[in-house]
Amino acid sequence: MSSRLISPIVAGTFMVCVVAMSVHGAGLPANAPAPAAAVVKGTVKFQGTAPKAMHIDMSADPKCVQAHPGGGSTEDIVADASGGLENVIVYVSQGLGDAKFDPPTEPAVIEQKGCMYKPHVVALRANQTLKVVNADGTTHNIHPSPNNNRELNQTQPPGVPLSMTFAREEIAIPVKCNIHPWMHSYIAVFKHPFFAVTGKGGSFEIENLPPGNYTITAWHEKLGTSIQKITVGESETKGLEFVFKAQPGS
């Protein structure tokens, strides 16, 4: 499974327009027959005027200033002119029963670059390795604060390799850098491969989904969650649409 994310809680009401979904590299349980898989495709959209990103003052670290001479910008709500919303986690939350899936051997990657976490939201499988890269010329710290996994808090000098794993499913784990307080991200951990994180334009896709009845959940760090139920048949491609509107103060 590719953990891009897509590349993500409805505090207010938002629009999640899901027209596409497809899980990359998804496997089926060992020794199970392989029916013709379904595809769910979608995009996630923000309805209304998205709040402007807030300016980040990085003057506390000259190395960060070198990367962003004018300062950085927050990434908690990233939407394009048409409302396409990035960093939303879309996943199967019910319907897989007791099916077991082995984690991929390829690691997921989160990079500390320009004194920001890239990607802002990373999704991976339980017991899959998360490779942490420090691409900056300054020391960072990565501090995930899970509720359902072991807490980690590690300093990472430039060029020093670092990796970690999470044993249990959890959506989503907040991450911060104790050295640079503006650095925030999220890690989503799944026990199955049927998830995606929206990228540019708010698009995502999940494929290789066995035919059946499912609950699909979309999660965003500021905007909340939205849920729908679907039924997919063999070789079927299905689109979903979740619609949320912003409320004052959200």
Non-local (6+) Cβ contacts of 217 within 8 A are 90, 91, 92, 93, 225, 226, 227
Mean pLDDT, range 44-61, rounded to an integer: 91
Number of domains in the chain: 1
| 14 part of a folded domain | no
Distance (Å, rounded) from C-alpha 171 to C-alpha 132?
A: 19
**Angle in degrees, CA 15, 13, 42, rounded to 5:** 25
Alpha helices in 60-120 (DSSP H): 62-67
> What domain range includes position 74?
38-239
| 3 part of a folded domain | no
| 29 part of a folded domain | no
Give one DSSP letter per residue of 141-158, joined into a string: EEEE--SSS----EEE-T
C-alpha to C-alpha distances, 243 to 17, 44, 56, 237, nearest whole angstrom: 6, 9, 31, 20
pLDDT of residue 21 exceeding 50: no
Q: Tell if the pTM clears 0.85, that is, is over it.
A: no
DSSP state, 193? S
Contact at 8 Å (CB) between 195 and 123? Answer: yes
pLDDT of residue 155 exceeding 70: yes
Task: Mean pLDDT check: name the lowest of 9-18, 72-81, 156-165.
Answer: 9-18
| 70 part of a folded domain | yes
Non-local (6+) Cβ contacts of 171 within 8 A are 89, 91, 188, 189, 190, 219
| 28 part of a folded domain | no
Enter the tokens of residue 126: 């339980």
- The upper half-sphere exposure of residue 3, i.e. CA atoms within 13 Å in the direction of its Cβ, equals 28
- Summarize pLDDT for 194-232 with one digit per residue, the tens: 999 999 989 899 999 999 999 999 999 999 999 999 999
Q: Which residue has the tokens 């990085």?
A: 58
| 21 part of a folded domain | no
Q: What CATH number should be reported for the domain holding residue 200? A: 2.60.40.420
